[in-house]
Structure 1
Amino acid sequence: MRYYLAFALYIIYTKRVYFGNIKRQSEIKKQNNMKPEKKIPSPFVSLLPILFLVGMLFATIHTFGSDALSGGSQVSLLTTTSLCIFIGMAFYHIPWKDYEQAITNNIAGVATAIIVLLIIGALSGAWMISGVVPTLIYYGIQIIHPDFFLTSTCVICALVSVMTGSSWTTIATIGIALLGIGKAQGFEEGWIAGAIISGAYFGDKISPLSDTTILASSVTDTPLFSHIRYMMITTVPSLLITLVIFTVMGLTCETSSTEQIAEFTTALSAKFNITLWLLAVPVATGILIARKVPAIITLFLSTLLAGVFALVFQPDLLLEISGEEKIFKGIMTTFYANTNLQTDNGMLTELIATRGMTGMMNTIWLILCAMCFGGAMTAGGMLGSITSFFVRFMKSTASMVASTVGSGLFLNLATADQYISIILTGKMFSETYRAKGYESRLLSRTTEDAVTVTSPLIPWNTCGMTQATILGVPTMTYLPYCFFNLISPLMSIFIAAIGYKIVRKR
């Protein structure tokens, strides 16, 4: 009897296992049938949104001019985003949740940058109204000789950026002061901004404190200092050529007369309480940077310190800003709103006008819209389709580097964000470089040469928008004079063509 019972239980167990397996296999098959193989748009189809965006931005800028950032460019980006999503959902069956997730991830990735941007807006206003920037301008005009102003500007910004690891911080602080000095000496704002950005992005590119430097090395699995040393091969010659150009320009440019400079400094001292004590703010900021305090904390403390100095040294200006004899309102307005102080010098009146946090809102709006566009291009497979096109041309070392440069530049144009572009470029080519026997540091260097330095040259890129907003100089105005940024990608290709210090494993 026991044998019959055991046999019956065995039959029941076997039946359950058998039919359970059949059921699971049926469910798996059903799920597989419900998920059709994802199609990837062709490079031609993937280029359509890019061409549409370029056309939209051209029409917007032509129509609105300098007011394009007030809404026209943002609408152009959102309209192009909707085109990407329509193509993907209608013709390639890409679900909406994929787009939503990609856009959300993109926006989350720039959250820190948006906070930094807001603080920089407050810092710019506080440094100006407290008298920090006017003091730097006042003494800088008298120290920096006009013939070597552009060269000095580039070198100063390079040194500060190396120490800070941030082009944004450099441009928002010492860059604004140098812009004022240059204008007082009679230089065109395009040349001044070009020298500032060239120096700032040299430091941003090679500083071990720079987030882009760390990101490029980590994405390509390259040791940080190995990455930095290898970048020197292309970065130092690019900077030297840039300095030669600025030196020649400085020696040949007709600058303002001594009388004009004296008039400018007199107007400065008449409006602001100029004192060396105000230099304690940039000194304290430098100490925080040297101690590697996080950028957000450094900028925030620098803003608060400048606010305290404004209360101590410029109370009359705060009362003038408030318009109601309320000093608290004046200092708060300095942090978040526009200020327009009147002087006897028109150029000075324009220079000391500030925008605070409010002045950054259009830029933040544009960044958010750009992240929507980049997310839609990524989720729809359009970025992958276009960038895979560059891989076909990788025949020699020079062509491989040129393809990487072209891909990085394209991603900067398409995603409107240098961080996304660095990640995508590094990930996309890492296996190809490894398969062909190239060192990872070649990829990390080329990525920075292609992406980091070209980001401020693109009007709708986060860096291009930010620098144009901070300096008050349109991207297309300073672009021709950012020689370091223009030369670096070409230098990367040239060094690859001659094969200098490029090791290939056989």
Structure 2
Amino acid sequence: MIKQPKRLPSPLLSLVPIIVLVALLSVTIRIFGSDALSGASQIILLTSTAVCSFISIVWSKISWKTIEAAIIANIASIGPALIILLIIGALSGIWMISGVVPTLIYYGIKIIHPAFFLTSTCIICAIVSVMTGSSWTTIATIGIALLGIGQAQGFNDGWIAGAIISGAYFGDKMSPLSDTTILASSVTDTPLFGHIRYMVITTVPSILATLIIFTIAGFSHHAVESEHIAVFSALLKEKFVITPWLLVVPVVTGVMIAKKVPSIVTLFLSTGLAGIFALIFQPHLLKEISEVTSGGVEANFKGLMLSLLGGTSLEMGNAELNDLVATRGMAGMMNTIWLILCAMCFGGAMVAGGMLESITASFIHLMKRRIGMVASTILSGIFLNITTADQYISVILTGNMFKEIYKRKGYESRLLSRTVEDAVTVTSPLIPWNTCGMTQATILGVATFTYLPYCFFNLISPVMSIIIAATGYKIRKINAED
């Protein structure tokens, strides 16, 4: 537990590190563009951390040891997430080279009609995410395949990624297996299934509105000519061995998920199984990647290792397909991990200096009415997602800050738990330097600002929470006996 300073900085002073962060990031992104995540953004985060630490030491009389302890605690809390990221990098590489993703794309192009593609993508990802309890796992597996299908059908990357993320975060929010769902209910002392049932009131209208938008967009989409799709299919079949046997990998992965095997174990075993299938069905591709002319065991082993650890590229005879089947492997996750570590430094320094507490306390004067209380919770959750760069920390801080306020005003804890999820869980992938935003952008290869306008579920949910609060539907006060 981080000890709060006796002398909190003013909200205005607390905003200084955030203003510095936003100003420098805007300049960095303008100059470096998509390359900003390759190092420049990390330096900006550390610079903002230094500004925050300086203010804390000079104004709040906080020792560097306290700030350092907060940073270490922040970084330690995301250890499992970093391991998952590395394994996802290896999995995405080997699922491609083994032919699993190309097979899913090949059959998906033939099955899913373009007019219903975006709607189908959102629903499929929602179902998988409810089953897995993990948006990350959903996006890293079925999401990548759906991205390829959408690209083959001529959809914009932003629309496809928006549909994938909308569905994945609906499932992440509503699944009893989701860590954020469990965390939000635990922090606010709300029974898990009571929390999930209460979220239906805001979540179902949000996903229905999202599906309507995607359906309209699908019918408005100018379908790619069938000859173009036929060329895609032919080139995939020419380069990869396409066989239903490769579907064993996602099926086994789904079974492990249904059996509630831990995420790290599931992803690792799925990666290993795909590696075996690569040796069986795609040895010619492993030889091409390894560049070992003699072939045999050495070529297979080297090709397999390169597929897991680094970037690979195959000549498909089509520029779009070349980009589609290119992989980054485990090494491709390093910039994201580097950025996450720097973001955790900034979040730890902001907590240790009492700056987050000072800023969020300024929201309290807005809580004279129910709608003001819910709106303040939403704003605080989004603000913490931006400043701490981690949804878990944001869920914990938002829940703890408002728990006593909701209790004093006589509202049920499930109102707070629902509002926390509407504010934090769904908005985390919309922030480029948040762990979720960085991860999804890296996995899908689509920049956060590219998919952000199309993540309709994530954008609608916080607004829907405030609308429902304004109507007062199913919101009741409790007495001391309750």
TM-score per shorter chain, which class? over 0.9
- % same residue: 71
Q: Which residue of 2 aligns with 1:111?
A: 79
How far apart, in 1, do the equivalents of 2:457 and 2:275 lie? 35
Q: Which amino acid aligns with 2:478?
A: K
Q: Is it true that 1:387 corresponds to 2:355 in the alignment?
A: no
Identify which of 463, 468, 480 aligns with 1:495.
468
Q: Which residue of 1 aligns with 2:36?
A: 68
Q: Is the CA contact 1:38–1:94 (under 8 Å) kept in the aligned structure 2?
A: no
Measured against aligned partners, the alpha-carbon deviations of 1:96-138 in whole angstroms (never above 9, x if no partner) come to: 1110110000000000000000000000001100000000000
Q: For residues 119-158 of structure 1, what are the structure 2 equivalents within 5 Å?
A: 119-158=87-126
Q: Which residue of 1 aligns with 2:291?
A: 323
2:82 alignment partner, SS class:
helix
Q: Which residue of 2 aligns with 1:195?
A: 163
How far apart, in 2, do the equivalents of 1:190 and 1:147 lie? 17
Q: For residues 376-455 of structure 1, what are the structure 2 equivalents within 5 Å?
A: 376-455=349-428
Q: Is it true that 1:209 corresponds to 2:177 in the alignment?
A: yes
Structure 1 window deviating more from structure 2 (391-400 vs 486-495): it is: 391-400
Using the size of structure 1 for normalisation, the TM-score is 0.92
Q: For residues 73-88 of structure 1, what are the structure 2 equivalents within 5 Å?
A: 73-88=41-56
1:44 alignment partner, SS class:
helix
* Cα distance, 1:36–1:117 mapped onto 2, change above 3 Å: closer
Q: Is it true that 1:307 corresponds to 2:275 in the alignment?
A: yes
1:94 alignment partner, SS class:
coil
How far apart, in 2, do the equivalents of 1:342 and 1:223 lie? 54
How far apart, in 2, do the equivalents of 1:36 and 1:253 lie? 54
How far apart, in 1, do the equivalents of 2:433 and 2:280 lie? 40
Equivalent residue pairs, number: 472
Displacement, 1:327? 1.0
Q: Is it true that 1:458 corresponds to 2:431 in the alignment?
A: yes
Q: Is the CA contact 1:426–1:443 (under 8 Å) kept in the aligned structure 2?
A: yes
How far apart, in 2, do the equivalents of 1:91 and 1:104 lie? 22
* Structure label with greater radius of gyration: 1
Using the size of structure 2 for normalisation, the TM-score is 0.97
Displacement, 1:146? 0.3
Q: Which residue of 1 aligns with 2:255?
A: 287
Measured against aligned partners, the alpha-carbon deviations of 1:201-233 in whole angstroms (never above 9, x if no partner) come to: 000000001000000000001010000000010
Measured against aligned partners, the alpha-carbon deviations of 1:462-499 in whole angstroms (never above 9, x if no partner) come to: 00000000000000000000000000000000000000
Displacement, 1:38? 2.2
Q: Which residue of 1 aligns with 2:327?
A: 354
Q: Is the CA contact 1:119–1:299 (under 8 Å) kept in the aligned structure 2?
A: yes
Measured against aligned partners, the alpha-carbon deviations of 1:67-112 in whole angstroms (never above 9, x if no partner) come to: 0000000000000000000111122211111101100000000000
How far apart, in 2, do the equivalents of 1:395 and 1:265 lie? 60
Q: Which amino acid aligns with 2:235?
A: A
Q: What is the root-mean-square deviation in Å for CA atoms of aligned residues?
A: 1.1
Q: Which amino acid aligns with 2:194?
A: S
Identify which of 169, 174, 186 aligns with 2:137.
169
How far apart, in 2, do the equivalents of 1:233 and 1:402 lie? 17
1:392 alignment partner, SS class:
helix
Q: Which residue of 2 aligns with 1:268?
A: 236
* Cα distance, 1:126–1:37 mapped onto 2, change above 3 Å: closer
Q: Is the CA contact 2:175–2:181 (under 8 Å) kept in the aligned structure 1?
A: yes
Measured against aligned partners, the alpha-carbon deviations of 1:388-437 in whole angstroms (never above 9, x if no partner) come to: 11111101111110000000000000000000000000000000000110
Structure 2 residue ranges without an equivalent (≥5):
none
Q: Which residue of 2 aligns with 1:6?
A: none
Q: Is the CA contact 2:5–2:352 (under 8 Å) kept in the aligned structure 1?
A: no
How far apart, in 1, do the equivalents of 2:34 and 2:258 lie? 38
* Cα distance, 1:36–1:454 mapped onto 2, change above 3 Å: closer
